[in-house]
Amino acid sequence: MGPIILLHIYLQTGDPENLLLSKDGDIILGGMFSFHTSWKDRKDTYIHKPLPLQCTSLNFRDFQFAQAMLFVIKEINNSTDLLPGVSLGYKIYDICASIARSVGVTLAFANGKEIVSVPSKAPCTRPAYVQAIIGDSSTSPTIAIGTVIGPYYVPVISHFATCACLSDKTKYPSFLRTISSDYYQSRALAHLVKYFGWTWVGAIRTNTDYGNNGMATFTETAQQLGICLEYSVSFFRTDPYVKIQKIIDIIKASTSKVIVIHFKTKEGDEVYFNENGDPAAKYGIINWQPRENSIVEFVTVGLYDTSLKQQLNLQNKSFIWTRNSKQVPVSVCSEKCPPGTHKVLQKGRPVCCYDCIRCAEGEMSNITDSVTCLRCLPEFWSNENRDACIKKEAVFLSYEEIMGTLLTAASLLGTCMTAGVALIFFKNRKTPIVRANNSELSFLLLFSLTLCFLCSLTFIGQPSDWSCMLRHVAFGITFVLYISCVLGKTMVVLVAFRATLPGSNMMKWFGPAQQRLCVTSFTLIQVLICVIWLTISPPFPFKNFKEFKDKITLECALGSVVGYWAVLGYIGLLSVLCFIFAFLARKLPGNFNEAKFITFSMLIFCAVWITFIPAYVSSPGKYSVAVEIFAILASSFGLLICIFFPKMLYYLTETRKEHKKEHDGEGCPTMIFLKKS
C-alpha cells in the first residue's frame, strides 16, 4: 500500500486547481512557468490531503515568457501556411519555482487529470495528455521535469535553462532548448579572464544546479588555461545573513583582485541547433559602469560568439573598472617569471602560485613563465642573463697570448744559439779543437738540437689533423736523433781511451762508419715506433668540453696512449744508456774529456722529463701543452749549454792565449787532444 499512497499524493499535486491558462485544440502544449518565485512554508502531516502552495513574490519575467508562448500559438493558429487544419491548444501552470510542484504538474501532463489510488488491471500505457512541454525558466525544476518525462519521450523545450548537464541525451533524451548551453557561457567566462591576464581569481555562484554545474565547467576550463581559483563559494537567495557575511569576509581576506560574475545572453539573427539540441552560443559582455546619483549603467563592451572564428571580441577602451579606473586590474598569485628563470611551484598551493628560480649555469629559458630550463648544446653556454645560449670560447695555446709568445721566443732563441755555435764550429772546423771533438757527430748533434728547438713550435697554434701528428712524431724522432748522437760521442770517448791500452784494436770496430750506423739504427727504431703509432691510432684534434664548463679546450688527443708512452719510453731508455756510458767515462785522463759534461747534461735531461710526467698529467687544457713545450726547451737548453758551452769557452780561451803568444813572439805550446782515428 505504501507505493500506491505515494502515487496518490503526487497525482494530487497536479490537480486542476493549479491551472492558470488553458485552451483546447487538436494538439495540446503544456506550459510551466514560475509566475511566483517563492511560497509560504507549510507543514504536511500526511494525514490529510496537502493544501495547495501559497505562492508569493510575483515574477514578471516569466509572465512575459508565458505571454510570448500565447502569442506564438495564436500566430500559428491564424496562419494558413504553418499548420493548416490543425489547431494548437495549451495548458499553462504556475509552479512557483518549486521542484515538487514541477514534478506534480509533469505527471499531470503525462497522465491527464485522472486520480489513481488503487491498483488496476488495465495497462498503464496511454498517450500523453500533452504532446510537448514548454518550460521551465530555471535549471533545477527543468532537471526534475526532464527526469520524470524523459522515459515517455515527451519533448521538453526550455527557453532559459542553460545547464550543460541537460545536453546529456542519456539522461534527458527528449530535452531541447532555445538558449545556448552554459558550457559555452562558462568557457567564455574563462577565456575572458584569460584575456585580461588574470590567473588568480575568486568565484561566487548560486547554490543551484545552474550555478554549481556552470562553475564546474568554468573551473575545468580555467585549469586548462592556467587560471587558479583562490576560493569558490556559493549562496542561495534565502540564505541567512550570517552565511552571506561569511562570504563577504572571505572576499575581503583574499589576495585576488577579480571576482567572476555572470554576463548576459545576446540574441542572434541566425538560429540553428547542434546534435544535442543546443543553439549557438552568443553572449553580450556587460560592464557595470557607475554614473552620477548612484546609478549603475549596463554597457555592452564585447561579444562572445561561438559561430565566429575569433570568438571573443572586446572593446577595451569602453571598460570602466573599480574606482572609475580604465586600467585593467592585475590579479595574479605570482608575478610572471622573466626569461632566464623557470617556475617552481610553492608547496601546498595552487599551480598559479610559484617562485621564479634562475636557470643554472649551462641552461637557459627565453620565454616568459617557462616551466623548465633548457640545457645548452655541448658547444654552447648560457649567457649572464641565462636567456640565450652563446657559443663557447675555443681556447688553445696560441702565438698571440703571452705564454705562447714567450715559448716561441725561447724556441727561436735556442735555435739561434744553436745556429751560432754551429757557425763557429764550421768556421773553425779545421782547427785541432774542433777536429778533436768528432766534428761529424758534433754537426749532426747541432742539427738535431736545432730541430728539437723548432719542433716545439708545432705544439703552438690551433690543433689540426696534420699538426697533431707532426708535433709528436717530430718531437720523438728529433730527440732520439739527438740522444743517439750524444750516445755515439760518449761511446767514442770510452772506446778511444780503451784503444790506448797495449794490443787493443777497438777503434777499428767503432770507426766513423760504425758511428753513423749506430745513430741511424737508433733513429730508425723510433721512426718505426712512430709509423706503427700513426698507422694504428694516430693523434687527432679533440674538443674537450669537460675541462672548463664555459670554454672548449682544443687539444690533440693521443690516439694510442701506448704509442705515445712507447715514444717517450724509448727516449728515456737511450738517455739512461747515454748517462751510464758518460758516467763510466767521466774520470778518463785527457786534457779535454767531454764525458763529464755529457753526464751532467743527461742528469738535467732525465730530471726534466721525470718532473714532466706528473706536471703533464695534472695540468689542464692548454697548460699541459705548455708543460710539454717547456720540457722540450729545458732539456734542449740543458744539452746545448752543458755540452757545447764548455767547448766554446775552452776554444775562445785557447784562441786568446795563442793570439797573445803570437803577439809576444812565443811559440804555441804542445797540447794533447783525443784524436779521431
Q: 563 near 529, Cβ under 8 Å?
A: yes
pLDDT-based confidence at 287, cuts 50/70/90? confident
Say whether both 559 and 609 belong to one domain.
yes
pLDDT of 359 reads: 93
Phi and psi at 202, nearest 5°, equal -110, 160
pLDDT of 32 reads: 92
Residue 285, in any domain of the structure: yes
Neighbours of 394 (CB within 10 A): 12
CA terminus-to-terminus distance, the chain: 146
Here the cell at position 330 is 592585475
Q: 545 near 393, Cβ under 8 Å?
A: no
The more confident residue out of 260 and 330 is: 330
Say whether both 516 and 567 belong to one domain.
yes
Q: What angle do CA 640, 645, 650 make, to 5 degrees?
A: 155
Task: Report helix angle 561-584 to 465-498, nearest 10.
Answer: 20
Q: Are strands 132-134 and 88-94 parallel, antiparallel or unpaired?
A: unpaired
Say whether both 165 and 256 belong to one domain.
no
Say whether both 249 and 352 belong to one domain.
no
* Rounded Cα distance, 268 and 281, in Å: 9
Q: What is the pLDDT of residues 418-444, one digit of tens each?
A: 888 888 778 777 766 666 666 777 788
The answer on pLDDT for 640 being more than 80 is: yes
Say whether both 588 and 617 belong to one domain.
yes
pLDDT of 654 reads: 65
Q: 363 near 386, Cβ under 8 Å?
A: yes
pLDDT of 433 reads: 62
Residue 386, in any domain of the structure: yes
Say whether both 12 and 92 belong to one domain.
yes
The answer on pLDDT for 471 being more than 60 is: yes
Q: What is the pLDDT of residues 100-124, one digit of tens each?
A: 888 888 888 887 654 444 455 555 5
Give SS3 for 632: helix
Domain of 40? 2-177
Element holding 389 (H helix, E strand): strand 389-391
Task: Write down the pTM of the prediction.
Answer: 0.53
pLDDT of 191 reads: 85
* Rounded Cα distance, 410 and 413, in Å: 5
Q: How many structural domains is the chain composed of?
A: 4
Chain centre distance of CA 126: 68
Looking up residue 83, the CATH number of its domain turns out to be 3.40.50.2300
Residue 602, in any domain of the structure: yes
Place of cell 569558490: 232
* Rounded Cα distance, 35 and 296, in Å: 27
Say whether both 14 and 37 belong to one domain.
yes
Chain centre distance of CA 440: 69
**pLDDT mean over 19-43:** 86
Q: How would DSSP label each residue in 455-492?
A: HGGGGSSS--HHHHHHHHHHHHHHHHHHHHHHHHHHHH
